[in-house]
Amino acid sequence: MNTALLVLRLVVGLLFAGHGAQKLFGWFGGHGLRQTGGFFASIGYRPGLPMALLAGLAEFGGGLLFAAGLFVPAAALVLCGVMASAIAGVHWPKGVWNQNGGFEFPLLMGTAAFAVAAIGPGKLSLDHALGIDWHGLGWALGAVGLGALGGLLSLLPRRRPPAQSEQQLREAA
């Protein structure tokens, strides 16, 4: 079980960290902070650059903590927060399936963070090495609840951009 938890933490955590690195640094085919900030502003997250910075830091830092198995409920909290914001703010109207831009993938990633926070990171983790015993259903529910609340609160300053006419969209392309 400890090896399985290590593999789960590494895959999920490093994917989160990589996604954050795309936003922050433009690594792995990402657009970097300025372009990501512009994209965030274009879909209504205002101000775009600080919101992109927060999302990128949460994914990058939370992903690294999760992969290392350090402060797992705190990592799950920030990761679930980003996923709640992504689901509510971007993916929900597109339905479930990822092929349509739906919420399948962010829901899966948030669920994995919840599960590891509930089960614990295992013996092959920094939490175990340091004697940190923060896990269980209460920790996981707290992480998801607070994370989801924070993620949904990030939508409050959000304003939808004005709709562009088809002519404006053709001219922009």
pLDDT by position in tens, the chain (length 173): 899 999 999 999 999 999 999 999 999 999 999 999 999 999 888 889 999 999 999 999 999 999 999 999 999 999 999 999 999 888 999 999 999 999 999 999 999 999 999 999 999 999 999 999 999 999 999 988 998 898 888 888 766 555 554 555 456 54
User: What are residue 91's phi and psi, to 5 degrees?
Assistant: -90, -30
Q: Which two structure tokens, joined as six digits, stand for 160?
A: 């939808």
Please provide residue 123's backbone torsions phi and psi, each rounded to the nearest 5 degrees: -70, -25
The residue ranges of every structural domain in the chain are 2-161
Which pTM value belongs to this model? 0.86
Helices assigned H by DSSP within 26-154 = 32-42, 48-68, 72-86, 104-119, 126-130, 137-153
Q: Using alpha carbons, select from 113, 108, 110 the residue that is nearest to residue 121.
A: 113
